[in-house]
A = this chain, B = another copy of it.
Amino acid sequence: MENFDFFNPTRIIFGKDTIGKLSVLVPAKSRVLVCYGGGSIFKNGVYDQVMLALKGFAVAEFGGIEANPQLGTCEKAVLAAHAHRADFLLAVGGGSVADAVKLIAASSGTPGVPAWDLVLDSTKMTAALPFGVVLTLPATGSEMNNGSVISRIDPIDKRAWGNPLVHPLFSILDPATTLSLPPRQVANGIVDTWMHICEQYLTTDNNSPVQNRFAESLLRTVREEGPLAMANPENLAVRANLMWAATMGLNGIIGVGVVADWSSHVIGHELTALYGVDHGRSLAVVFPGVLTLCRVSKRAKLLRYAREVWGLTDADENVLMDKAIEQTILFFESLGVPTTLRGCGIPSEAADIVADRIAEKGWMLGEGKDIGPKEVRQILIARS
């Protein structure tokens, strides 16, 4: 195990009928800007629950935050927060809304620095508005960490950033809010959760049994509960278990003291920025390619993954690794998530284009910093 520094002060309120607790969770007398996405919260009743709980607060609203939240949208929201003299932000929605609110909070707290500069170098942050989250989609883990991913159009880009100043003050996780999610979003969320766990687990083994077993615990739970959520969308207990697994997958607990990969995410972000593919789908395309490429460096963990997550028992270790990768693909496909570029409608020249962009940025990816442009091309060609 490596040395580590762990700090996660976000309070989690979990369970059915907990949105009403906003009335005591939001600091008294706050001027609140409620931020949300495309309007699903109007259909599923979450908007009404939130507004009822915020009665008595000075509330303004900012809607229209898109999946893969855009810089320009965040910049508009900063102006709205300023106009309302907001001193508290509330994200109501999925990870995209939470991610956007983190940048809105940071940018509001650090006037004079362009928002994109904060994304590129978050050490420029000096303060952030406090904020809370009402989560309606289990996937990104953004509700209990200080990370965020922001996209922009001109020039086109999608980047992850983070700062200890943008931990949510609290997050309310009511699994009932997820009952009405479209199947595609549920499936994407399952893949995203899977990938957050794997990026921290399927790396180089460094004798961290607690972290390994916690990651395997989450993967086994997602493997069981994910298909149940697809098959029985009305089952609240399944939704609750899936929601908690998603949060635990990226709140730092399984990542302490181990090395992390994140190459699938970085390559996937490029695919989403360029081709608009859903984030979860981009990961499902890239990951099998990364595993195949990194069979040697990831060998010890791939074998654990085969045995502990997939229950494989073959004596031949190469067969074990092959089968583990195959099972992963089958799992994603069983959720209706395509695992090839073609399946996502992405042209095969994406391999060259993404490789060139990685080269331009000078990035070497993966836990061993051994995935460069050439390897990225190889990964994507194998997944064409």
Contacts and interface: CB of A to CB of B under 8 A. Distances in A.
A18 B3 contact: yes
B14 A6 contact: yes
A119 interface: no
Interface in A24-46: none
A209 interface: yes
A84 interface: no
B14 A237 contact: no
Given A209-B241, A214-B217, A11 B15 contact: no
B237 A209 contact: no
A208 B217 CA distance: 11
A1 B12 CA distance: 14
B1 A257 contact: no
A91 to B, nearest CB: 19
B4 A15 contact: yes
A100 to B, nearest CB: 24
Interface stretch (A48-56, A218-226, A295-303, A333-341): A218-226
A16 interface: yes
How many copies of this chain?
2
A6 B1 contact: no
B11 A6 contact: yes
Contacts of A256: 12, 14, 244
Nearest to A211: B244
Nearest to A217: B213
A11 B14 CA distance: 22
A256 B253 CA distance: 14
Contact of A209 (B7, B14, B209, B221): B221
Given A210-B221, A210-B244, A248-B210, A11 B7 contact: yes
B2 A12 contact: no
